[in-house]
């Protein structure tokens, strides 16, 4: 069962949200996806990272739409992609393989076959999983500050499952949203990314982090992902990859990313000035490398 809906008929998008006028909603199974599409030409797929949303691409989507068909998607639980029904939060596809499978279904529903795929932070592992599954076959993939630095295997197998039980609880999600509304937590967290944000950019993150579903989704992704398994499999990828690193990125440090890139035969690592939020801080660096380094 699937359906497409006007943006106005689903979860309310703030009036000043970037590209609100090209938003649409598509319900497939337990997920009501938020999608933004604009422009004509070869298709560029944009996936944000953990805790982000389509707004992460606000400075990129306009220039891209002058040459490309731009498709930006909110990942499950993030932004305005929400459970399709009350109580469906536990059915959301937060594990990496499950998320890629659900996203592949959405791309088929949309009739989208991207020639270029761009992932910021955790968006890049999702794209890599899609390519490994054969669900996308882009000419080029660009990872912007890609979250490819995996925790140790013992953490994934022993600690993460225990933490998942705690961090995915309603109490933690509601508490995180409460703290985002009443403290400087979001500002302090984003300040550690190494990227200065404008007041409107910061306000969007603060608004998102006041939504319990968004907080829950970010925590669930971090708790359920198995990046070591992805990196082992990713050595077989043959799609040309460019990994764009920010030299001041404190969340995915450049030395650690260099080591991860060395395990990917088709990857080229490029480092530029900037922190973790490069699409918002230096969008020109992203735009210049959509089709290759």
Which domain, by its residues, includes 233? 2-151+226-287
SS (H, E, C) 148-164: CCCCCHHHHHHHHHHHH
CB atoms inside a 10 Å sphere around CB 86: 6
> Do 149 and 156 contact (CB within 8 A), yes or no?
no
Query: Splitting the chain (293 residues) into consecutive groups of 10 residues, what average pLDDT does each group show?
Result: 47 89 95 97 97 96 97 97 82 92 98 98 97 97 93 50 58 62 78 93 93 87 85 94 96 94 96 97 97 86
CA distance 278 to 121: 10
- Residues 238 and 11: their CA atoms lie apart, in Å, by 39
> Is 170 in a helix, a strand, or coil?
helix
Is 75 a member of any domain? yes
- Contact yes or no for 213/77 (Cβ under 8 A): yes
Which residues in the chain belong to E strands, given as ranges?
Answer: 2-6, 23-28, 31-38, 43-47, 69-73, 82-83, 116-120, 140-144, 241-246, 267-272
Handedness of CA 8, 11, 12, 18 (dihedral sign): negative
Q: Assess if residue 198 is contained within a domain.
A: no
pLDDT score at 197: 94
Let me know if residue 201 belongs to a domain: no
Q: Please report whether residue 106 resides in a domain.
A: yes
Q: Are 142 and 121 in contact (CB under 8 A)?
A: no
Confidence at residue 280, expressed as pLDDT on a 0 to 100 scale: 97
Nearest to 135 by CA among 170, 169, 100, 161: 100
In a domain, 92, yes or no: yes
Tell me how far apart the alpha carbons of residues 130 and 104 are, in angstroms, rounded to a whole number: 7
- Secondary structure class of 74 (helix, strand, coil): coil
Q: Is 169 within a domain?
A: no
Q: DSSP per residue over 15-38, as a string?
A: TTSTTGGGEEEEEETTEEEEEEEE
The total domain count for the chain is 1
**What CATH number is given to the structural domain containing 103?**
3.40.50.1820
To the nearest 10°, the Cα dihedral for 107, 269, 239, 78?
-10
pLDDT at 56: 97
Two tokens at 166? 């705690």
Whether residue 196 is contained in a domain is answered as no
Does 186 map to a domain? Answer: no
């Amino acid at each position: 069962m699937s359906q497409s809906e006007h943006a106005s008929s689903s979860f309310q998008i703030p009036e000043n949200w970037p590209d609100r006028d090209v938003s649409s909603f598509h319900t497939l199974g337990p997920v009501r996806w938020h999608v933004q599409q604009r422009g004509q030409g070869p298709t560029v797929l944009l996936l944000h990272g953990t805790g982000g949303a389509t707004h992460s691409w606000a400075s990129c989507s306009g220039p891209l739409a002058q040459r490309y068909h731009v498709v930006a998607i909110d990942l499950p639980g993030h932004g305005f992609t929400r459970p399709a029904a009350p109580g469906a939060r536990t059915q959301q596809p937060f594990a990496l393989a499950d998320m890629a499978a659900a996203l592949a279904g959405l791309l088929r529903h949309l009739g989208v076959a991207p020639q270029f795929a761009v992932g910021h932070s955790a968006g890049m592992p999702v794209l890599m999983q899609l390519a490994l599954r054969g669900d996308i076959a882009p000419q080029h993939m660009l990872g912007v500050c890609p979250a490819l630095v995996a925790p140790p295997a013992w953490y994934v197998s022993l600690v993460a499952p225990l933490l998942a039980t705690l961090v995915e609880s309603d109490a933690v999600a509601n508490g995180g949203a409460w703290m985002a509304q009443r403290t400087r937590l979001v500002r302090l967290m984003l300040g550690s990314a190494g990227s200065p944000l404008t007041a409107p950019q910061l306000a969007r993150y603060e608004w998102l982090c006041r939504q319990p579903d968004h907080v829950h989704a970010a925590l669930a992704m971090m708790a359920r992902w198995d990046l070591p398994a992805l990196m082992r499999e990713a050595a077989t990828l043959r799609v040309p990859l460019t990994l764009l690193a920010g030299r001041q990125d404190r969340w995915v440090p450049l030395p650690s990313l260099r080591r991860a890139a060395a395990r990917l035969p088709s990857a080229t690592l490029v480092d530029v000035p900037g922190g973790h939020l490069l699409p918002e801080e230096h969008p020109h660096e992203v735009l210049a490398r959509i089709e290759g380094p």
